[in-house]
Copies of this chain bind each other. A is one copy, B any other.
């Protein structure tokens, strides 16, 4: 590398590092707002965030970054860089293009439309009145179509939006994955409907003291490998994980005094996200590749811990005695099998965030269908409720009694998040494939889990996923980690085997 190239690279990295610092500062303000801020604080917090985000955008889209990228992208220059530095140039170009291709006017209109969108969605859902939300959503969809056109795409306009959350992912790539998943899930669901065995949830639906739930959750989180010297757990309305660098990662949970599963699975889920964030190498942390590979990969970590581990029999062989120290009366006669059944009951239900592991993906497939038709103009906002109910009937066999529990249930569209939902199911697909790779590499896995020893799992994830940050695109990372491209049969086979056992299917 010549001195000039080295100077350019150093300047690029230092400009990006500053943007990362400011992004972490904004994340701290966001965490505080959700967990600590007194109610009246919101007035100035909104302005503080606007100013901070304005400066982040201004600095990241500076023409100087474009110049540096152009120089570093010269083939001969690129060839002289290390693999990590090449990935820095690639990722910076990806994000820089996304940030600079949109005209300022469109960004402003989107910000205004989604601010209004969230507000009107809230009102519309409260009153279950679609007509209160439709005008705002029409505007948002129109702007998102413009956004897709500005960003550009080869095949389908929806690809331009998907790429924000799952770099490189396309509609054409998703379609066959989701079709396979849909067919297998519908078949499994039919069998579960006819199952000889019914599942009772009474064991987890007793009175559980919230302080004890908190302590139990922290014990599990610590056992998973979460470093409380480099993070903490608090309470918020909607559980989330946020990172201010790998040595300060915060998770939140929420409590239901009459359901042991609510806080526990929020904790394990967010804990999975947090282990990923804590596993980003410190030396990458102030670079643009010092973050998760994608939302889908991030979700694979939370789902793997929540479902593949946390809802398994080996896990509860370990966790039940622990839980009994906090809830000796409630769990005196419980068995691991009884709890595993209770936390895995399958039901055709209306609300995505309450769905079980089997039906969950159908809720996502429904949204994927709608989003891609909306963005390509094959579906209009006015036809959305009817289409929603039709798809619910087709996929889940139930129709919402009102729009609040149907098309109005999620905040995403009012916030302008199109292309986001598929990452949840991608997370499940990635998780299943990773889980099979771990099982293959660690033959005694169930015994480790039953002993509460999660170190082999965490070590595997650290080695094959966490330490790579965003150096590879999601599918390349999965290919490297598991030895094959994304393959949906890992998930469908896992679901079929697990629920056949649970429901006593032949």
Residue numbers of A with Cβ under 8 A of B are 17-18, 21-22, 24-26, 28-29, 32, 36-41, 43-45, 47-48, 50-52, 55, 227-232, 244-245, 247-248, 282, 285-286
Contacts and interface: CB of A to CB of B under 8 A. Distances in A.
A41 B246 CA distance: 8
- By Cβ-Cβ distance, the 8 closest A-B pairs, closest first, are A41-B248, A44-B245, A21-B51, A40-B247, A40-B230, A21-B48, A40-B229, A25-B48
Given A41-B244, A41-B247, A247-B44, A52 B25 contact: yes
Contacts of A41: 230, 244-245, 247-248
A43 B229 contact: no
17 contacts: A21-B47, A22-B48, A22-B52, A24-B44, A24-B48, A25-B25, A25-B26, A25-B48, A38-B228, A38-B229, A40-B247, A41-B230, A41-B244, A41-B245, A44-B244, A44-B286, A45-B244
A45 B286 contact: no
A307 B52 CA distance: 40
A37 B248 contact: yes
Nearest to A51: B21
A211 to B, nearest CB: 13
A51 B43 CA distance: 25
Contact of A28 (B29, B39, B55, B227): B29
A36 B34 CA distance: 14
Count identical subunits in the complex: 2
Contacts of A52: 21-22, 25
A229 B39 contact: yes
A248 B286 contact: no
A44 B52 CA distance: 18
Nearest to A59: B55
Given A24-B48, A43-B282, A44-B248, 4 more contacts: A21-B50, A38-B228, A44-B285, A47-B286
Nearest to A52: B25
B39 A36 contact: no
Contacts of A24: 44, 48
Contact of A32 (B18, B21, B26, B32): B32
Contacts of A18: 51, 55
A36 B38 contact: no
Given A24-B48, A29-B25, A32-B28, A38 B248 contact: yes
A22 B54 CA distance: 11
Which of A17, A50, A247 has the largest number of chain B CB atoms within 10 A? A247
A245 B42 CA distance: 10
Nearest to A231: B38
Given A18-B51, A48-B21, A245 B285 contact: no
Contact of A38 (B26, B29, B232): B232
Contacts of A285: 44
Nearest to A228: B38
Contact of A244 (B21, B22, B48, B232): B48
A77 to B, nearest CB: 28
A43 B245 contact: yes
Which of A29, A32, A44, A247 gathers most chain B CB within 10 Å? A44
Contacts of A245: 41, 43-44
